[in-house]
A and B are shown apart, each in its own frame.
Chain A
Amino acid sequence: MPAATRLGMVPDLGRWSAALSTILLLGAAPAPETPPHHPAKSGIDYASDDVRRMQADDFANPGMLWVAQGGKRWQEPAGNSGKSCAACHGDAAKAMKGVAARYPGVDAATSELLNLEGRINRCRKDQQAAEPLAYESEDLLALTAYVAHQSRGQPLQVSVDAAARPYFARGREIYYRRQGQMNLACTHCHEQNVGRKLLADTISEGHGNAYPIYRLEWQSAGSLHRRLRACYFGVRAEMPAAGSAELLDLELYLAWRARGLPVETPGVRR
């Protein structure tokens, strides 16, 4: 067995030549609308028992620290308006239930694609007259975790209607685009080698239903974009900035792939 295959990084050549000849026969092969591994299986199902137990217990799950922090930020007035999130939205447990399951989504007013972080910053700008929070800052992570936590257990169901289609198509393209010095696309690990080992980790289907997560490697909470950047780094590709259009498009496509999976925020991963 060649070393690369043993590492679980690259599918073997036989499969590739078969795929190649199929493409040659059919011309540009249209990719299947429904990806493999459907219905989707959450990343937590690929995690070890330790990690699963940690996520399941709200007092052992360090991500709850960020959720608790977000609960405080929710009540605090911000910006020149002097309004808090709660001043408009009231009780987050009611007002925010199910919201995270619908993000990222296209903002009706501006036709822009917004994820939860983007929506929170949009609200700060338009409603609170406050400065946007920096991506990956503790406050934005905390608020995002708090809002997403209100949807825990709700199935993901992003809209990929006409307004979202261009973003979705770009996200899909990124998913299947080879990149970096390793010349790998998302699909090579997260579709073609799911369940196999990458060093000490089991490769999951790469769903974003638990974000923001507490990642043991980071010893901190982090956003989906931070995790995606880590994947870009892993294949030695140029990393797009957190919050960039590229990662937003990819986030929408990933959310569609993960449709039906329950929101787990705050997830725990290795």
Chain B
Amino acid sequence: MAEAIVSVPATARRGEIIELKALVRHPMETGFRYTQRGERVPRNIVTQFVCSYDGAEILRATLHPAITANPLLVFNAVATVSGEIEFRWTGDNGFSVSEIATIVVN
């Protein structure tokens, strides 16, 4: 399934503060729920989100149970150089999704 949508401005001025948005599709099953038969529903969450700008990590987030399904993360960065911004989510059951967007800084 298509797993993620990211938003990065196509262009920015050097030094400008830009807003980055990252939405990923994930059930975020907490591991605290039980079925009607009394069996625990196993935890299945995104555990880590990393954003890298031109190869350098600019944001790392550790996610926990009780975070919404299909979590949206919105944060800011300073536009420094033209390059790739990579978003990567990893989680339970080998979940791994990444999206790359490019930005032109002038």
Task: Write out the residue numbers on chain A whose beta carbons fall within 8 Å of the beta carbon of B21.
Answer: 59-60
- Number of interface residues, chain A, beta carbon within 8 A: 13
Q: Does B88 contact A (CB under 8 A)?
A: no
User: Chain B 64-76, CB within 8 Å of chain A: the 1/0 string?
Assistant: 0000111010000
B72 to A59, Cβ gap below 8 A?
yes
Question: In the assembled complex, how far is the CB of residue A121 from the closest CB belonging to chain B, in whole angstroms?
Answer: 20
A65 to B69, Cβ gap below 8 A?
no
- Number of interface residues, chain B, beta carbon within 8 A: 15
A62 to B2, Cβ gap below 8 A?
no
Q: Does B96 contact A (CB under 8 A)?
A: no
A68 to B2, Cβ gap below 8 A?
yes
Residue from the list B7, B23, B28, B68 in contact with A65, Cβ < 8 A? B23
Question: In the assembled complex, how far is the CB of residue B70 from the closest CB belonging to chain A, in whole angstroms?
Answer: 4
B25 to A65, Cβ gap below 8 A?
yes
Within B9-43, the residues touching A (CB, 8 Å) are 21, 23, 25, 27-28
Q: How far is the CA of A72 from the CA of B1 in the complex (A)?
A: 9
A72 to B23, Cβ gap below 8 A?
no
Q: Given A68-B2, A72-B2, A138-B1, verify A59-B23 contact (CB < 8 Å).
A: yes
Task: Write out the residue numbers on chain A whose beta carbons fall within 8 Å of the beta carbon of B59.
Answer: none
User: Chain A 134-148, CB within 8 Å of chain B: the 1/0 string?
Assistant: 000010001000000
Q: Does B5 contact A (CB under 8 A)?
A: yes
Q: Does A219 contact B (CB under 8 A)?
A: yes
Task: Write out the residue numbers on chain A whose beta carbons fall within 8 Å of the beta carbon of B4.
Answer: 65
B2 to A60, Cβ gap below 8 A?
no
Q: Does A69 contact B (CB under 8 A)?
A: yes
Q: How far is the CA of A60 from the CA of B4 in the complex (A)?
A: 12
Task: Write out the residue numbers on chain A whose beta carbons fall within 8 Å of the beta carbon of B3.
Answer: 65
Q: How far is the CA of A220 from the CA of B69 in the complex (A)?
A: 8
Could you write out 13 A-B pairs with CB less than 8 Å apart?
A: A59-B21, A59-B23, A59-B72, A62-B23, A62-B25, A62-B70, A64-B23, A65-B3, A65-B4, A71-B2, A72-B2, A219-B27, A219-B70
User: Chain A 64-76, CB within 8 Å of chain B: the 1/0 string?
Assistant: 1100110110000
Task: Write out the residue numbers on chain A whose beta carbons fall within 8 Å of the beta carbon of B27.
Answer: 219
With contacts A60-B23, A68-B2, A68-B5 known, what are 16 further pairs, Cβ within 8 A? A59-B7, A59-B72, A62-B23, A62-B70, A64-B5, A64-B23, A65-B2, A65-B3, A65-B4, A65-B5, A138-B1, A142-B1, A219-B68, A219-B69, A219-B70, A220-B69
Q: How far is the CA of A159 from the CA of B23 in the complex (A)?
A: 38
Residue from the list A59, A69, A219, A220 in contact with B2, Cβ < 8 A? A69
With a 10 A CB-CB cut-off, give which of A64, A68, A220 has the most chain B CB atoms: A68
